[in-house]
Amino acid sequence: MIQNFMYKLGELNPQLLREIKGRWQATNILPAVAISLLGQFILLIYCQRLLPPKYINTTYDYSHAYCTGLSLGSLSQCIVDKYDRVIVNWQLWSQDVFNLLSLIGIFVILVGGNYLLISDLATEERRGTLNFIRLSPQSYQSIFLGKMLGVPILLYVVSLVAVPFHLWLGIHAQIALSHIFGFYAVLIGTSILYFSGALLFGLIGTWLRGFQAWLGSGLILGLLLFSKEVIKDNSTFNYPFVVFRLLNPYYFISNHLGDFQFDGFHWFAMPLGNSFIITVGFSLLVYLVGTYFIWQSLRRCYQDKTVTMLSKKQSYLLTSSFVIFTLGCANWQSGFTNEFNSYSGLRENLACLMFLNLWLFLYLIAALTPNRQTLQDWSRYRHIYSSQKLGKDKLIKDLVWGEKSPGIVAIAINVFIAIACLIFFIVVVPSSGNNKFYALLSLVFAGSLAVIYAALAQLVLFMKNEYRLFWVNALLVAVIIVPLFILSILSSTPDSQPFVWLFTIASPLVMLFSTIRDELMIPTFLAIMGHGVILSLLLFKITKQLKKSGESATKVLLAGN
């Protein structure tokens, strides 16, 4: 029977069978089961030590978190039964153990699974076996799905062994089964999203070598900790940072009262947080859209290592989806009802939206910027067409939609899409014209910086250097962080030196939160001109290099003929 099952599995997904054969062995499975059981036992022993003493002296008042008497803040007064034994609030204890086990499971599955997938794919690429897999008749979906299901299979075993204990705790904590299985659905959805991202990072991050898996899993760990520790205040529901909660299954853990940590969540003023099931469904939809775009990048990078991660058309769709999703998480429901306080809500929401869009555009710069060889091919053919006076009128179309053309125009179009949506947000806020003017200026600086960073990345990727991928990442990090670091050391503030600050990543925030608006107009005008000069110089340099590369390549091609 097992052989028949394995044969059918091999017919259905050969890659999954390959991964399982290398891992589904008694020497691997038995330790995984033992580790899971031992971990549950240690957790149970640890949590039992948190219980109050079995017997207490009733002549003294004694309070404890798990007692059942009069509530005294975070503690409760302990009462005893007729046998002088402390009556324990087992429901609350089960809830806390349930939450702790859920949290451990989240970190083990998401962080550990990402590390295993990135490490496996990096090893396959380093050994050259991935090229053999590419030659097989399997589809990219079959290969990556096989890896996603097969590589972390021991983690799945550890998790499945813990499910009965987890369910038992949830039932004793009187948590509805619909909420428990809703949490499982979100955990599975986030796992698919993060594991898909891990596969993509494993494909494109080979230049990081042995550090690749540690960096990828570290980023996921940082995101989970950031969203758990920093974005834990309920006031975040007033701002778009609630998206970090949607990406962390921890916030979908319900308590015995049926409450969960999305009460008050609205999307375009729709009270989605009033229903656990609707919130789970909305989150799964977000994961589905994100996974779709990641798998489009997987398809392109797997089939041809020289192409960009996204086509320009896909990038426009991604930006539109991302901006609409994040814009819906703004405080539409209550933040702008009072014109007197509306600007405070406007600038705080707008600052959060621009922060989220910053990460989107950093990804788009990486996803749309072609490498040196692709640009050389494109510039050569463009030069041939120009010399033959053919296709000159198609240059704009090629820059907007072409697969091999520079990505700067596409980045600019994506900037326009994002700014257009944010302008709509600014317009509907009942604030003064002066406030809206400065909010619009903040968008101008944000858009300008995005295009400048894209041009800078394109220029560095055109270098004749083996480590240009490293240099482009290092340069972008330096351009973003170093100016702020230097200005902070010099004790400079936006109010004391606004012109200098308007050339940093903080320039949109300077426009939003400045207290010296009367003195800001001239520095703002000069800074906008300065941004234009910087962008013009970068574009001129890129155009010159493309033209030179096209002429040189054409001469070599014609000489060879």
pLDDT one-digit tens code per residue, 175-193: 989 999 999 999 999 999 9
Q: Report the range of poorest mean pLDDT among 28-42, 179-193, 384-398, 411-425.
A: 384-398
Residue type for position 475: L
How big is the CA angle at 368 (ends 366 and 369), to the nearest 5 degrees? 70
**Mean pLDDT to the nearest integer, 41-56:** 87
Greatest alpha-carbon pair distance for the chain in Å reads 104
Q: Which of 201-215, 242-256, 260-274, 445-459 has the highest mean pLDDT?
A: 445-459
The pLDDT assigned to 332 comes to 79
Residues 349 and 218 in one domain: no
C-beta atoms surrounding 420 within 10 Å? 12
Rounded to the nearest integer, the mean pLDDT of the chain is 85
Residues 76 and 127 in one domain: no
The pLDDT assigned to 190 comes to 96
370 domain residue, yes or no: yes
Query: Residue 39 above 80 pLDDT?
Result: yes
Task: State pTM to two decimals.
Answer: 0.91
Residues 24 and 143 in one domain: yes
Q: How far is CA 476 from CA 268, 453, 467, 535, in A?
A: 34, 7, 15, 15
Pairwise CA distance, residues 70 & 78, whole Å: 8
Number of domains the chain contains = 3
**Mind giving me the DSSP string for 286-346?**
HHHHHHHHHHHHHHHHHH-TTS-SS-HHHHHHHHHHHHHHHHHTS-TTTTTS-HHHHHHHH
Q: Which of 256, 280, 303 is the last residue of a domain?
A: 303
The pLDDT assigned to 340 comes to 46
**Mean pLDDT to the nearest integer, 23-48:** 91
Q: Which of 114-128, 398-412, 528-542 has the highest mean pLDDT?
A: 528-542
Q: Which of 247, 278, 303 is the last residue of a domain?
A: 303
228 domain residue, yes or no: yes
For 166-178, give the secondary structure using H, E and C: HHHHHHHCCCCHH
Over residues 435-451, the pLDDT tens digits come to 888 899 999 999 999 99
**Mean pLDDT to the nearest integer, 324-346:** 72
**Mean pLDDT to the nearest integer, 325-345:** 71
**Mind giving me the DSSP string for 28-63?**
HHHHHHHHHHHHHHHHHHHHHTTSPPSB--TTS--E
Query: Residue 554 above 80 pLDDT?
Result: no
> What are 287's two structure tokens?
């994961």
For residue 341, what are the contacts with CB-CB under 8 A and spacing of at least 6? none
Name the residue with higher pLDDT: 132 or 94.
Answer: 94
Pairwise CA distance, residues 206 & 373, whole Å: 18
Edge to edge, what strands does the sheet with 63-64 contain?
63-64, 75-77, 71-72
48 domain residue, yes or no: no
440 domain residue, yes or no: yes
151 domain residue, yes or no: yes
Residues 252 and 327 in one domain: no
Over residues 499-551, the pLDDT tens digits come to 899 999 999 998 988 877 777 888 889 999 999 999 999 999 988 888 877 66
**Mean pLDDT to the nearest integer, 121-135:** 80
Residues 199 and 342 in one domain: no
C-beta atoms surrounding 106 within 10 Å? 22
Residues 329 and 393 in one domain: yes
Query: Residue 440: which domain range?
Result: 312-560
Q: Report the range of poorest mean pLDDT among 127-131, 196-200, 380-384, 447-451.
A: 380-384
Q: Which of 303, 324, 346 is the last residue of a domain?
A: 303
Give the pLDDT band (50/70/90) at residue 423: very high
The pLDDT assigned to 108 comes to 94
Q: Which of 27-41, 46-60, 74-88, 221-235 has the highest mean pLDDT?
A: 27-41
Name the residue with higher pLDDT: 31 or 73.
Answer: 31
321 domain residue, yes or no: yes
Residues 134 and 183 in one domain: yes
> What are 527's two structure tokens?
């800074």
Residues 180 and 325 in one domain: no
Quickly list H helices, 128-211.
Answer: 129-135, 140-150, 153-172, 177-204
The pLDDT assigned to 258 comes to 61
Name the residue with higher pLDDT: 5 or 366.
Answer: 366
282 domain residue, yes or no: yes
Residues 279 and 418 in one domain: no
Residues 140 and 221 in one domain: yes
The pLDDT assigned to 257 comes to 64
Residues 20 and 150 in one domain: yes
Q: Are 158 and 224 in contact (CB under 8 A)?
A: no
Query: Residue 387 above 60 pLDDT?
Result: no
525-553 per-residue burial string, b: 16 or more CB within 10 A, e: under 16: eebbeebeebbeebbeebeebbeebbeeb
Give the pLDDT band (50/70/90) at residue 420: very high
For residue 504, what are the contacts with CB-CB under 8 A and spacing of at least 6? 483, 484, 487
Residues 423 and 381 in one domain: yes
Name the residue with higher pLDDT: 77 or 475.
Answer: 475
472 domain residue, yes or no: yes
Terminal Cα distance for the chain, rounded: 64
